[in-house]
Structure 1
Amino acid sequence: MSARSPQAPRSPRVLVVDDEADLRELLELTLLKMGLDVDSAASLAAARARLVDTEYQLVLTDMRLPDGLGLELVREVTAAYKNTPVAVVTAFGSTDNAVIALKAGAFDYISKPVALDQLRVMVQSALRLNAGPAAVQAPSAAPTASRLRGESAVIQALRAQIARLARSMAPVAIHGESGSGKELAAREIHAQSSRAAKPFIAVNCGAIPEALMEAEFFGYRKGAFTGAADDREGFFQAANGGTLMLDEVADLPLAMQVKLLRAIQERRVRKLGATAEEPVDVRIVSATHKNLAQCVEQGSFRQDLFYRLNVIELSLPPLRERLDDLGVLTAAILERLGTFEHKVALGPGVLEALRGYAFPGNVRELENILERALAFANGGVIQVGDLALKGARLADMAAAPLPSPMPAAPSAVPPPNPDSLPSSLPEYLNQVEREIILRALAQTHFNRTQAAQLLGISFRQLRYQMQKLNIQEPEA
């Protein structure tokens, strides 16, 4: 018998592990109809034997097996067969088990009773993952460079971490200071995943009026409310098959957090005015500059939603911890700012001056500094004086964690001694609040966005309090 031609197509092979004969048969038939080869096992021991003899493009396992837990198989496959995604089947309502499996390295999960449409979507996504992002891009599309520029050790470690977690469908929570590139990281995760050819939708949760949130996220039917003249898709439908980034997720009101949790758990959404839910296939990536665990303790963020979003954590380093990348970042920004006819160059000592700066606003602040400097530069050459660096230096930060606050107006209401009470509580509280805000503004050199972050409030809240307390920005 002649050897098989290397050009002959080979169907992907899937291993189904489940001790329920009826469910195992249903899964097998569904996968066979998709044109896949299927092997099955009713126990951990049988599955292990299959894995030794055969290479699989996907392993689908139940969480409870006669001789152990499917979680054991998840860990073993993840460790020994790194190119084989493994998905789990969980009992109805056992979302905690699904989160545990995702943290252990599972590619994705599906709940009982198994919805065959969701199963097919998950399997197709896993098979695309094996093929790599290039397989789902247009044949003529050239590979793109990483959005995260730099060659420092921390940025290389970050890129390696993104490459690993891009192979999973688990939710990712990105943490980092304002301006550190959270959306860039989210886009990089999407670009390296099997969802690269599908939409990437980024939503600023803090910029949507609370009354419109449900309609914006889930869409609405014509006539659902006054002004709803036509059917409209929401963010979940727009991101179907791709990635939905929830930026500043900590700003979501509690009422919306409940609805978002259900949509993530059930993978279904109901439009306003509709009677039936519709399935959505979306990977969630969230980002915030706030400490979500602290928000949970304070009661402003639901613990169950926190656990659903925080399956995989990704922390972005601030620019001051990756100053080796400053040259690469500066060159990329200047290339974007310049034109073909007018190239931008740096004068002597400019990079050294930038390296001595702390960049509390991170890469976004670097862009602003260079753009402002270019406006003042002569002949397209930026000099040190054009940078107009005002604020924290690295040496200052090391020497004094808390800069001295800017002088405040004399207190109109002196603080009471421990044995007395203030003569006017509202005036006293206003004075205390004024002094705290002035300290935060002094520490950030009157950068109101950063001051709001230090105080754990939104920019709009800070602006309102400054107007109420008559706090004026000092003249330059």
Structure 2
Amino acid sequence: MNKRPRQKVLIVDDEPDIRELLEITLGRMKLHTCGARNVGEALGLLKRETFDLCLTDMRLPDGTGLELVQHIQQRYPQVPVAMITAFGNVETAINALKAGAFDFLSKPVDLGRLRELVTSALLLAVPGNAIDRRLLGDSLPMRDMRKQIDKLARSQAPVYISGESGSGKELVARLIHERGPRGHRPFVPVNCGAIPSELMESEFFGHRKGSFSGAIEDKPGLFQAAHGGTLFLDEVADLPLPMQVKLLRAIQEKAVRSVGGQQEEMVDVRILCATHKDLSAEVAAERFRQDLYYRLNVIELRVPPLRERRDDIEPLAGHVLMRLAADTGQPAAKLHPQALDALKSYRFPGNVRELENMLERAHTLCENKQIEASDLRLAEGNCAAEAGLRDLTQIDNLEAYLDNVERQLILQALEETRWNRTAAAQRLSLSFRSMRYRLKKFGLD
């Protein structure tokens, strides 16, 4: 029976004692190691041999580890690189992550942390097309985003996922997690805007029995639940400032203290975050801490809105209609060519989520399993916010026009309140009963 060859690690450091320490530690992990004293030697070894991981010091006699990271990213992108930096040099670490480093270690090297890092890095798989089945569409923006997801999955850097509501930010976060070395560990999503401020510390860090009224037993927090995996902070801009301070410390120290606890608990969590707001504008308005922003926004990934990838509307619509047919046990409805043209000309302020809701309603109400343009309840594909009030001579169906204006205003209120129907009704000065009627009328329920 053939034995699997031992994986090989390239260690680059000009200090013999450090190289020896790393070689002994990795040797006990049944790994083969090669040492290099500088960038030149490392480049020579990379040309002659195949490596599964590179560990490099930041300061080298003939260059920097950052230069080595960039070279490996360009020539050998399948090889993850981890940087070893001086203790507390956060800026260097962040620059390394932005350049494509998998992760970083601070000196003096914690051997337990080193073993965890190496184990995670060696789990990386060669990127493939597994995500294509879930990120539908072959438009240029989608192809670019697939490449970025594959690249980001091979890093441990925090990622800020920006994009409009309904564009699929959580799906992107899940794919980054699943494609990386943490894919077999927990993915814990949390909507930061849905947690009452007085419960946030307990929800994030856990609490001890008796620490406050109602704490009848010990409860782990979100950080503990995500240990070894990924914590996805959705709508992170909605975190109150006091919680932002505590979150920043947890990320920096990689440790949390539960409410009522006496000791800190080390946690190994990758942070991904998202919001539909402009986070830099929130920083400028002093509603979001600048230091936390720089910690979270090491790398930004923008999810394009649906209106920027109109070529994807047809395959997306087909997928949604097939899923609806499977859910109902009925034949799939077909889109009339005029209905498809109407969808492609619509600006979709609610993005993919709005497309799904729209097609679900049309699938239910259409006749003969064919969706006509009129079943979509669109007014020539325009949004009320962008169309404004038209000249009366341009309106041939007042009722349909007013319905579209009303629908768009309700949709906007729902998006702004994260689909909280009560809050959206209050924003529009509607009773909840009236709001419920309109949600049903416009297929938004």
Task: Describe the SS at the equivalent of 1:51.
Answer: helix
Q: Map 1:15-164; keep pairs closer than 5 Å.
A: 15-129=10-124, 131-132=125-126, 145-164=132-151
| Residue 396 of structure 2: aligned partner | none
Distance 1:117 1:404, change over 3 A: farther
Q: 2:344 aligned with 1:344, yes or no?
A: no
In the TM superposition, what is the alpha-carbon distance from 1:144 to its structure 2 partner? 6.7
In the TM superposition, what is the alpha-carbon distance from 1:69 to its structure 2 partner? 2.0
Q: Map 1:147-226; keep pairs closer than 5 Å.
A: 147-226=134-213
| Residue 328 of structure 1: aligned partner | 315
Q: Map 1:408-419; keep pairs closer than 5 Å.
A: none
Distance 1:169 1:266, change over 3 A: same
Distance 1:133 1:272, change over 3 A: farther
On the 8 A contact 2:186/2:229 being kept in 1, the answer is yes
- TM-score, normalised with respect to structure 2: 0.85
Paired with 1:100 and 1:77, the residues of 2 have a C-alpha distance of 15
Paired with 2:213 and 2:265, the residues of 1 have a C-alpha distance of 23
On the 8 A contact 1:391/1:444 being kept in 2, the answer is no
Distance 1:452 1:404, change over 3 A: farther
Q: Map 1:452-467; keep pairs closer than 5 Å.
A: 452=416, 467=429
Q: Map 1:153-302; keep pairs closer than 5 Å.
A: 153-302=140-289
| Residue 388 of structure 1: aligned partner | 377
Equivalent pairs counted in the alignment come to: 419
Letter of the 1:371 counterpart: E
| Residue 413 of structure 2: aligned partner | 449
With 41-50 and 369-378 compared, the bigger mean Cα shift is at: 41-50
Task: Describe the SS at the equivalent of 1:174.
Answer: strand
Paired with 2:306 and 2:243, the residues of 1 have a C-alpha distance of 33
Seq. identity, %: 50
Task: Describe the SS at the equivalent of 2:311.
Answer: helix
Cα-to-partner distance string for 1:179-230 (whole Å, 9 max, x where unaligned)? 1111111112122222222221111011111111111112222232222222
In the TM superposition, what is the alpha-carbon distance from 1:23 to its structure 2 partner? 3.2
Letter of the 1:149 counterpart: L
Cα-to-partner distance string for 1:68-126 (whole Å, 9 max, x where unaligned)? 32211111222222111110112222111111110111111122232222211110111
Q: Unpaired segments of 5 or more residues in structure 1? A: 135-141, 406-440
Task: Describe the SS at the equivalent of 1:76.
Answer: helix
On the 8 A contact 1:254/1:302 being kept in 2, the answer is yes
On the 8 A contact 1:448/1:459 being kept in 2, the answer is no
Letter of the 1:346 counterpart: K
Cα-to-partner distance string for 1:273-314 (whole Å, 9 max, x where unaligned)? 222222222221111111111111111111121111112211
Task: Describe the SS at the equivalent of 1:148.
Answer: coil
Paired with 2:97 and 2:270, the residues of 1 have a C-alpha distance of 13
Paired with 1:249 and 1:26, the residues of 2 have a C-alpha distance of 40
On the 8 A contact 1:344/1:380 being kept in 2, the answer is yes
Task: Describe the SS at the equivalent of 2:148.
Answer: helix
Paired with 1:249 and 1:463, the residues of 2 have a C-alpha distance of 24
Cα-to-partner distance string for 1:210-263 (whole Å, 9 max, x where unaligned)? 111111112222232222222222112222222211111111111111221222
On the 8 A contact 2:160/2:274 being kept in 1, the answer is yes
Distance 1:17 1:157, change over 3 A: same
In the TM superposition, what is the alpha-carbon distance from 1:462 to its structure 2 partner? 7.1
Letter of the 1:29 counterpart: I
Task: Describe the SS at the equivalent of 1:445.
Answer: helix
Counterpart pick for 2:351 among 362, 374, 379: 362
With 20-29 and 52-61 compared, the bigger mean Cα shift is at: 20-29
Letter of the 1:403 counterpart: G
Letter of the 1:384 counterpart: A
- TM-score, normalised with respect to structure 1: 0.80
Paired with 1:292 and 1:450, the residues of 2 have a C-alpha distance of 20
Q: Map 1:366-377; keep pairs closer than 5 Å.
A: 366-377=355-366
Distance 1:194 1:465, change over 3 A: same
Cα-to-partner distance string for 1:354-405 (whole Å, 9 max, x where unaligned)? 22221111111111111112232234433322221248528x99xxx57249
Letter of the 1:118 counterpart: R
On the 8 A contact 1:404/1:443 being kept in 2, the answer is no
Distance 1:145 1:46, change over 3 A: closer
With 19-28 and 106-115 compared, the bigger mean Cα shift is at: 19-28
Paired with 2:372 and 2:84, the residues of 1 have a C-alpha distance of 61
In the TM superposition, what is the alpha-carbon distance from 1:466 to its structure 2 partner? 5.1
Distance 1:21 1:274, change over 3 A: farther
| Residue 413 of structure 1: aligned partner | none
Cα-to-partner distance string for 1:125-158 (whole Å, 9 max, x where unaligned)? 11011x4489xxxxxxx96753211122221221
Task: Describe the SS at the equivalent of 1:212.
Answer: helix
With 112-121 and 297-306 compared, the bigger mean Cα shift is at: 112-121
Give me the CA root mean square deviation: 3.1
Letter of the 2:290 counterpart: Q
Paired with 2:234 and 2:17, the residues of 1 have a C-alpha distance of 43
On the 8 A contact 2:350/2:411 being kept in 1, the answer is no
Task: Describe the SS at the equivalent of 1:29.
Answer: helix
Q: 2:281 aligned with 1:317, yes or no?
A: no
Paired with 1:451 and 1:325, the residues of 2 have a C-alpha distance of 22
Task: Describe the SS at the equivalent of 2:409.
Answer: coil
